[in-house]
Structure 1
Amino acid sequence: MTMTTIKVSTELRDRLKEQAKAEHRTMGEQLEHLVGQHGRERDFAALREAMSRMTPDDWADYREETAWWDAVSAPVTD
């Protein structure tokens, strides 16, 4: 992995360093964590937006499909 330097304010650097230390991470690990967290938040926001536009028919289709998947993925008992 190649390394690089980024320019941030001293205040931001200190905040990141404090967060990283509290979470027992390196600065690089902390930045990766924050980027990943932001991506998850963005993905869930998009999911909530899509779900808010679903019609009652869409929800009925969703419930039918998830019931089907639940049925076919249930463990087989003897």
Structure 2
Amino acid sequence: MPSFIFRVRTPDKSPHRTELHDFPDLEQAMAQASRLARTLVRNPVRRGHMAIGGTLDIENEASQPIARFVLREVAQQMR
């Protein structure tokens, strides 16, 4: 089963949190990353803070980028 790295980065591109997850395929990794991104911005959005920065990046085991969720865009979708 492939491993995927979820890396939360602050607006200045500093890694804030890193998690390693195993998923059968990229589609399931993307679904979980989407849920995680929504969880990260849920409370600030509820409080009316829309100036959310940073990203949630998905990388493969070799730390090569696969996908990126821009947290500001996720927050805007949740409005």
* Higher Rg: 1
Query: Which has the larger helix fraction?
Result: 1
Q: Select the structure with the greater relative contact order (CA < 8 A; seq sep ≥ 6).
A: 2
TM-score strictly above 0.5 = no
| TM-score, length of structure 2 as denominator length | 0.31
TM-score (norm 1): 0.31
Q: Which has the higher strand share?
A: 2
